[in-house]
């Protein structure tokens, strides 16, 4: 049976045939009480924003751990004790040096390219780099990498590897400058920009400032026009009424970053920017961007092919505005935070997860504001399905993640909430539970999938900045591999692709330097690693402790 997907780009509708078939919402079961996770994001006005979660493997078993920001309370690392396709189970690591206060968010990345994930921890105060030692052990590494964590109120992060560098370039977005009179309603803080001082990394980091800053809440390095030159995109929350706006900074090796202006083709967008998610929705191979906000979420699609950053908003046309609560009779606008594109029902059409929640007690905005799960339809539109998926929650959401926690090929969900416990939903696929007893239910596949990892020699081991393409029949899914975006948290590990009813797929990688891999054959429902220079993928079986390094 053939379905039709419509790609809307620059006002032109193109039709692409596919053997994929869109299916219904997955059955998600909240398993918070039995998961072992008991954690909330607390604190005063400095913690109204933030509250991210980092999902990454820190002990080499390929199951993702969870690191949850705590605000005024200690952050917490939860080690994944789940089994393949089994109940979700986590154990809190209480003796971890990561259990520190004033954490607003965190992002995993392999800074020294040793095959062990490190962690950048955002804080209200000194930001910290933690070096992974294996077996979920960490050591603080600010001195090791000559990294000045500062004393700002930090709320956003992005990283990439510039050509010839052994260490990544880091960008940290800061919120209100607490030293200015009138805080928290004073001046926004500048963005911190860190470049390696020396190609071999021995000199650690040198600091620059990107001015002006407009209270960044999300950022990512992204190659928006596929030129091979990633730039820094920033979603800004505050002071749009004082000239603030969303920003795009031109980043070129050896040069001071320069902000794009209207003369460069950049249209100023003025919203309360909270989070960024990116994927290729139009099928043209270039990233499209979803920007969360208060009442005015945007879907930005590049219209120019002349190298100009000229974007138009396509949120309304695709039914992806998510600007009000979708249940109840509250007409007050939503407050949206974390956003992530991924395929939760494995039908090969990308979906969108958005966490929501009032900042604190803003009466002009919805107080009961459930998270959104927007399912991608074959015609390119989206439909709300959080209630149908059994994910209805009225907690004040902040950070979140769609991530396969038990490696069964179905994406589960984690949400960090303000002042109440974080929530975890297990994706049971098509299965209906028996009187809510999840341990008696057996999750059934809901479409086929592939999960991929990338590996290259030398610096940037995980190939950040690559474009990964997966093709089934005559349709190709394209994804840029980034560190950043979301709201105050990100994930590392498997790159998940739903492939619908297809039993096989092919994949290829455009590596960070522009070189393409050959098309590599894949079978459905496998975890596999694509290594630069190899023409076949290494399949990982869950019975293995890890892929060979």
Q: What is the pLDDT of residues 291-317, one digit of tens each?
A: 999 999 999 999 987 889 999 999 999
- Region 406-435: what's the mean pLDDT? 91
d(CA 510, CA 492): 19
Mean pLDDT for the stretch of residues 422-449: 78
> ω into residue 201 within 30 of 0, thus cis?
no
Query: Which of 33-42, 207-216, 436-445 is predicted least confidently?
Result: 436-445
Instruction: Give the angle subtended at the CA of 272 by the CAs of 270 and 273, to the nearest 5°.
Output: 90
Question: What does pTM read for this prediction?
Answer: 0.93
pLDDT higher than 60, residue 10: no
Closest Cα to residue 48, out of 67, 28, 72? Answer: 72
The arithmetic mean of pLDDT across residues 429-455, rounded, is: 77
Going by pLDDT thresholds of 50, 70 and 90, the confidence category of residue 200 is confident
Does residue 147 contact residue 159 with C-beta atoms inside 8 Å? no
Peptide bond into 212 cis (omega under 30): yes
Tokens of 407: 């490696």
Residue-level pLDDT at 201: 73
Residues 6+ apart with CB under 8 A from 305: none
Question: How far is it, in rounded angstroms, from Cα 498 to Cα 447?
Answer: 7
Q: CA distances (Å), 197 to each of 70, 201, 335, 386, 424, in order?
A: 33, 7, 40, 47, 41
pLDDT bucket at 445, cuts 50 / 70 / 90: confident
> Going by C-beta distance under 8 Å and a sequence separation of 6 or more, which residues neighbour residue 203?
146, 196, 197
- The confidence band for 181, taking pLDDT boundaries of 50, 70 and 90, is low
204 vs 450, higher pLDDT: 450
* Nearest to 347, CA basis, from 447, 473, 280, 471: 447
Q: Are 86 and 406 in contact (CB under 8 A)?
A: yes
Checking if the pLDDT of 448 tops 50, the result is yes
pLDDT of residue 328: 87
Q: Which residues contact 98 (CB under 8 A, 6 or more apart)?
A: 67, 75, 76, 77, 119, 121, 130, 138
- Over residues 215-224, the mean pLDDT reads 97
Which of 14-28, 291-305, 333-347 ranks highest by mean pLDDT?
Answer: 333-347
Pairing of strands 3-9, 12-18: antiparallel
Q: What is the pLDDT of residues 25-34, one digit of tens each?
A: 999 999 999 9
Q: What is the pLDDT of residue 443?
A: 74
pLDDT at 189: 92
Q: Check residue 4 and give its pLDDT.
A: 29
Q: How far apart are CA 480 and CA 498, in angstroms?
A: 16
- Looking at residue 184, its pLDDT comes to 64
Contact 461, 455 (CB under 8 A): yes
**How confident is residue 330, by pLDDT bands cut at 50, 70 and 90?**
confident
Q: Which of 296, 278, 286 is nearest to 340 (CA)?
A: 278
Q: Write down the pLDDT at residue 517.
A: 98
With 70 as the cut, is the pLDDT of residue 432 above it?
A: no
Please choose, from the candidates 250, 254, 290, the residue with its C-alpha nearest in 3D space to the C-alpha of residue 274: 290
Determine the average pLDDT of the residues in 346-374: 96
CB 118 within 8 A of CB 141: yes
Check if the beta carbon of residue 491 is closer than 8 Å to that of residue 440. no
Q: What percent of the chain has pLDDT over 90?
A: 83
Query: Are residues 407 and 525 in contact, defined by beta-carbon separation less than 8 angstroms?
Result: no
Confidence of residue 179 (pLDDT cuts 50, 70, 90): confident
Tell me how far apart the alpha carbons of residues 11 and 155 are, in angstroms, rounded to a whole number.
Answer: 35
Rounded distance, CA 25 to CA 377, Å?
A: 11
pLDDT given for residue 8 in this prediction: 30
Query: Are 62 and 49 a contacting pair, CB within 8 Å?
Result: no
Cα 267 from Cα 272, distance rounded (Å):
16
429 and 443 in contact (C-beta within 8 Å)?
Answer: yes
**Dist CA 297 CA 323 (whole Å):** 7
List beta partners, residue 247: 234
CB 62 within 8 A of CB 409: no
Of 17 and 36, more confident: 36
Please report where in the chains the tokens 């009187």 appear, as a residue. Answer: 435
Neighbours of 539 (CB within 10 A): 13
Helices (H), 201-256: none
For 232-264, the pLDDT digits (tens) are 999 999 765 567 899 999 999 989 999 999 999
Copy the structure tokens of residue 278. Answer: 């990116």
What lies within 8 Å, CB to CB, of 236 at 6+ separation is 188, 213, 214, 215, 216, 217, 244, 245, 246, 247, 273
Question: What is the mean predicted confidence (pLDDT) over 149-155?
Answer: 97
Kindly tell me if the per-residue pLDDT of 282 is higher than 70: yes
For 457-477, the pLDDT digits (tens) are 999 999 999 999 999 998 999
> Chain-wide mean pLDDT for the chain?
91
Band (185; pLDDT cuts 50, 70, 90): low
Bridge partners (DSSP) listed for residue 353: 340, 373
Q: What is the structure's pLDDT at 73?
A: 98
Q: d(Cα 370, Cα 393) in Å, to the nearest integer? A: 5
pLDDT at residue 186, rounded to an integer: 72
Which whole number is the average pLDDT over 52-77?
98
Q: Taking 50 as the threshold, does the pLDDT of residue 364 lie above it?
A: yes
Report the alpha-carbon distance of residue 485 to residue 216 in Å, rounded.
Answer: 11
Rounded to whole angstroms, the Cα distance separating 188 from 193 reads 16
């Amino acid at each position: 049976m053939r379905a039709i997907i419509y790609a809307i780009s620059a006002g032109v509708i193109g039709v692409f045939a596919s053997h994929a078939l869109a299916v219904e919402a997955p059955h998600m079961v909240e398993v918070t009480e039995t998961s072992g996770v008991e954690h909330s994001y607390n604190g005063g006005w400095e913690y109204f924003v933030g509250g991210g979660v980092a999902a990454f493997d820190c002990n080499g078993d390929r199951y993702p751990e969870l690191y949850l920001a705590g605000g005024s309370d200690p952050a917490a690392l939860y080690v994944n004790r789940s089994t393949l396709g089994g109940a979700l189970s986590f154990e809190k690591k209480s003796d971890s040096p990561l259990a520190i206060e004033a954490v607003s968010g965190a992002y995993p990345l392999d800074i020294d390219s040793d095959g062990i994930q490190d962690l950048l921890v955002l804080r209200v105060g000194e930001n910290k780099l933690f070096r992974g030692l294996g077996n979920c052990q960490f050591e603080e590494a600010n001195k090791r990498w000559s990294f000045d964590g500062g004393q700002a109120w930090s709320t956003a992060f992005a990283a990439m590897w510039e050509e010839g560098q052994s260490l990544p370039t880091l960008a940290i977005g800061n919120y209100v400058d607490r030293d200015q009179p009138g805080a928290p309603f004073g001046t926004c803080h500048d963005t911190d920009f860190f470049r390696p001082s020396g190609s071999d990394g021995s000199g650690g980091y040198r600091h620059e400032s990107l001015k002006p800053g407009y209270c960044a809440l999300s950022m990512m390095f992204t190659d928006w026009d596929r030129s091979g030159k990633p730039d820094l995109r920033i979603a800004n929350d505050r002071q749009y009424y004082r000239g603030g706006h969303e920003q795009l900074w031109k980043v070129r090796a050896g040069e001071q970053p320069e902000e794009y202006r209207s003369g460069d083709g950049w249209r100023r967008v003025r919203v309360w920017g909270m989070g960024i998610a990116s994927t290729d929705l139009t099928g043209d191979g270039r990233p499209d961007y979803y920007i969360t906000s208060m009442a005015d979420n945007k879907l930005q699609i590049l219209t120019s092919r002349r190298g100009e950053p000229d974007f138009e908003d396509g949120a309304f046309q695709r039914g992806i505005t998510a600007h009000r609560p979708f249940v109840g009779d509250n007409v007050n606008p939503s407050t949206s935070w974390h956003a992530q594109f991924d395929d939760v029902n494995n039908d090969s059409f990308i979906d969108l997860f958005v966490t929501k929640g009032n900042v604190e007690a803003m009466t002009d905005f919805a107080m009961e504001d459930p998270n959104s799960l927007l399912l991608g339809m074959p015609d390119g539109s989206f439909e709300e399905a959080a209630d149908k998926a059994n994910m209805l929650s009225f907690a004040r959401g902040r950070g979140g993640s769609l991530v396969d926690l038990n490696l069964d090929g179905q994406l589960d969900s984690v949400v960090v909430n303000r002042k109440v416990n974080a929530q975890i939903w297990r994706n049971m696929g098509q299965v209906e539970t028996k009187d809510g007893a999840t341990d008696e239910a057996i999750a059934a596949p809901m479409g086929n999938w592939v999960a991929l990892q990338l590996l290259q020699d030398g610096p940037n081991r995980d190939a950040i900045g690559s474009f990964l393409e997966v093709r089934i029949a005559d349709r190709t899914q394209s994804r840029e591999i980034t560190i950043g975006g979301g709201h105050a948290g990100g994930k590392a590990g498997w790159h998940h692709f739903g492939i619908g009813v297809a039993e096989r797929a092919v994949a290829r990688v455009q590596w960070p330097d522009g070189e393409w891999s050959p098309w590599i054959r894949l079978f459905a429902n496998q975890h596999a690693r694509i290594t630069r220079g190899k023409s076949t993928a290494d399949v990982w079986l869950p019975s293995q402790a890890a892929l060979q390094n």
